[in-house]
Amino acid sequence: MDAARRMAAIRAAPAIWILLGTCLIAGCRAEGDAGSAGGKAAEPGSGVPPTVRVVANGLNAKYPEGMDIDSNPYIENIRKRTNLDVRFTIPPSDGFDAKLNVIMASDDIPDLISTSNANWFVHYVNRQALMPLDELIDRYAPGLRKRFPQEAWDQVTVDGRIYAIPSLNEAPGGYLMYTRKDWLDRLGLQPPTTLDEYYAVMRAFAEQDPDGNGKDDTAGLSIRENMGGASPLFGAFGTQVSILAWYERDGRLVNGTVLPETKEALAFMAKLYKEKLLDQQFMLNKTAVFNEKIANGKIGLYAASWSDTRGPILDNRLNDPKAEWIPLDFPVGRDGRKGTNASQPVRYYSVVPAAAANAAGAVKLLDFLSGAGYRDIKLGFENEIWTRKDGKMVIDFAEHNKHFYRGVYSNLADIAEPGVTKDRLDGLGMQFRLNENLSRIGENLIKSDFTGTTVPAMGIYGANLEKDMQETFTKIVAGALPLSEFDVFVERWYKAGGEQMTAEVNAWYAGRNKKK
């Protein structure tokens, strides 16, 4: 789609709402003895605001000309209302966790780090490199405790002490199914419900030229690299694959990755690939490549993010005005199982390194971002970004897009205020069904029976186990490894840390049951 058409479409319809997943590090120094932006200490009573240094994963956020992360209306508002000289450093997004490791090993320690990586969080708790925050919260930000649900606090509490301020997930789960209704209609098909019906639709989309262009150029189903977007397919077999997905079997918790049901799901997907119903290049589908396939009409059935109706689906509709997309029921397996992965309540962990100079300032900043400053940062300034008309939010999308970078700040300590979320998503365009999509996902979650803080073994072994899972499952589905390799993988998984992880998770489970 050319730039002129895209800009015209954005002016005619609300622009794409992209979730900014942002990992931030903020450095704060105690009032009265904080260093300035240039490193000079402020003398007590000098009137110089204490510095809060922030290292953040800005995820390539764009800024209006003349602005950057440290110079814009939102950071100035934060500084003015908190009396903190908040300063950010933005490392490259690629290798962000590795950069955090370098920072933690340096002599120049910031005061606040916000990471989306639970393994990173628990690793540094284990190393006693993070500061417990209970007393700081009680002294400087008692309102914080009320803004987050107990399940979120549970995930940042280790041995009875709080080691992070949570930032909440907006979406309850990962995916919902979307399809091209115009393709179904052209082929005389009804929206699928069961796994068998999904299979029939996939075959028709792959073999019967659903777009009518006379070319063999459409996939029956597509997923992303590393098994991304396969969640509803695993759900049809009653499982999910993640080191955080644990299900009770005979009184003990077993990780979904190694369940027999997962092997059955892989057999089904391998069958799809062998019969050329699954995108033959799925293992190369990075996000940009995948979204381009949707936008260009090569995919008519896939597991969409709740916001994709304003992303690649919108792009496809702009490219092809005849394209009509509808949400589907989750595929129901032969035993009636269905669903998608449930998100962890915590999206980011905002932690204070043990060597931080201004832990109090860090907590004060998070208190403001989740409290008095929440609405302005989440929604944008009223009467500049949005107004209210007839009780509904009306968004100035040119300004909204220009200042989208404000999500970098809100993600430090994002809360879930239902009224704000509903207003914002409806204001972005009722036709995109954003609130409906979130509700549909929330009603079809396969929830983990493990809800505690990431156990120590996850911090030690989790990343390698996830990588092995992604690579092995991809090869099994693509036919590069036989299905029997799943059993070899399970044995390897337990030996490579899964056994210890399982023991620690079940110790938590036994303790929780004892308290009941």
- Distance, in Å, from the CA atom of 167 to the CA atom of 157, rounded to the nearest integer, reads 14
Amino acid 514: pLDDT: 73
Spatial CB neighbours of 221, under 8 Å, sequence gap ≥ 6:
198, 202, 205, 272, 277, 278, 279, 299, 301, 302
pLDDT (average), residues 104-123: 91
Q: Which residue has the tokens 């129901």?
A: 332
Going from the C-alpha of 66 to that of each of 62, 63, 69, 78, 405, the distances in angstroms are: 11, 8, 11, 19, 14
- Distance, in Å, from the CA atom of 310 to the CA atom of 75, rounded to the nearest integer, reads 28
pLDDT per position as a tens digit, 159-211: 899 999 999 998 999 899 999 999 999 999 999 999 999 999 999 999 999 99
Going from the C-alpha of 11 to that of each of 7, 429, 434, 483, the distances in angstroms are: 6, 12, 19, 50
Instruction: Using the 3D structure, point to which of 438, 453, 468 is the last residue of a domain.
Output: 453
153 with 101, same domain: the answer is yes
pLDDT per position as a tens digit, 72-81: 999 999 999 9
- Distance, in Å, from the CA atom of 268 to the CA atom of 344, rounded to the nearest integer, reads 27
- Distance, in Å, from the CA atom of 187 to the CA atom of 210, rounded to the nearest integer, reads 7
- Distance, in Å, from the CA atom of 188 to the CA atom of 514, rounded to the nearest integer, reads 56
143 with 203, same domain: the answer is no
Amino acid 24: pLDDT: 30
% the chain with pLDDT above 90: 78
- How many CB atoms sit inside 10 A of residue 138's CB? 12
Structure tokens at 418: 């239902």
Segment of 6-15, 84-93, 468-477 carrying the highest mean pLDDT: 468-477
159 with 121, same domain: the answer is yes
319 with 350, same domain: the answer is no
- How many CB atoms sit inside 10 A of residue 163's CB? 21
Structure tokens at 197: 């019906």
Structure tokens at 488: 């070899």
Domain with residue 304: its CATH number is 3.40.190.10
- Distance, in Å, from the CA atom of 65 to the CA atom of 77, rounded to the nearest integer, reads 19
Asked whether the beta carbons of 425 and 419 are under 8 A apart, the reply is: no
H or E stretch at 157: strand 157-158
Structure tokens at 43: 């003398």
pLDDT (average), residues 357-385: 95
| pTM, to two decimals | 0.81
Can you name the residues that pair with 304 across neighbouring β-strands? 176
- Distance, in Å, from the CA atom of 128 to the CA atom of 48, rounded to the nearest integer, reads 32
295 with 204, same domain: the answer is yes
Q: Which residue has the tokens 């200042």?
A: 403
pLDDT per position as a tens digit, 502-515: 999 999 999 887 77
- Distance, in Å, from the CA atom of 495 to the CA atom of 512, rounded to the nearest integer, reads 26
114 with 203, same domain: the answer is no
In sequence order, what E strands does 203-339 have?
246-249, 252-255, 301-304, 325-327
Amino acid 245: pLDDT: 96
321 with 183, same domain: the answer is yes
Q: Is residue 356 part of a domain?
A: yes
458 dihedral zone (left: phi>0; alpha: psi -120 to 50; beta) = alpha
Q: Is residue 330 part of a domain?
A: yes
Q: Which residue has the tokens 């996000």?
A: 287
Three-class DSSP category at 391: coil
134 with 27, same domain: the answer is yes
- Distance, in Å, from the CA atom of 382 to the CA atom of 351, rounded to the nearest integer, reads 31
Structure tokens at 202: 């996939």
Q: Is residue 434 part of a domain?
A: no
- Distance, in Å, from the CA atom of 282 to the CA atom of 232, rounded to the nearest integer, reads 16
**Mean pLDDT, the chain, whole residue set:** 89
238 with 320, same domain: the answer is yes
- Spell 428-446 as b/e; 16+ CB within 10 A means b: bbeebbbbebbebbbebbb
User: 224: buried, middle or exposed (CB in 10 Å: 19+, 13-18, 0-12)?
Assistant: buried
- Distance, in Å, from the CA atom of 337 to the CA atom of 333, rounded to the nearest integer, reads 5
409 with 291, same domain: the answer is no
First to last CA, the chain: 58
Asked whether the beta carbons of 457 and 447 are under 8 A apart, the reply is: no
Amino acid 391: pLDDT: 87
Instruction: Using the 3D structure, point to which of 409, 435, 453 is the last residue of a domain.
Output: 453
Running DSSP on this structure, what letter comes out for residue 466?
H
In sequence order, what E strands does 262-369 have?
301-304, 325-327, 340-341, 346-351
Whether the predicted pLDDT of 2 surpasses 80: no
Structure tokens at 161: 């002490």
Backbone angles phi, psi at 6, to 5 degrees: -65, -45
pLDDT per position as a tens digit, 412-468: 999 988 888 899 999 999 999 999 999 999 999 999 999 888 888 988 899 899 999
Whether the predicted pLDDT of 26 surpasses 90: no
Per this entry, what is the length of the chain? Answer: 516
pLDDT per position as a tens digit, 244-256: 999 999 999 999 9
Q: Is residue 488 part of a domain?
A: no
Structure tokens at 281: 């290049």
Whether the predicted pLDDT of 29 surpasses 60: no
208 with 257, same domain: the answer is yes
Q: Is residue 31 part of a domain?
A: yes
204 with 246, same domain: the answer is yes
How many domains, in total, are found in the chain?
2
Domain that holds residue 89: 18-171+345-427
214: confidence class by pLDDT, cuts 50, 70, 90: very high
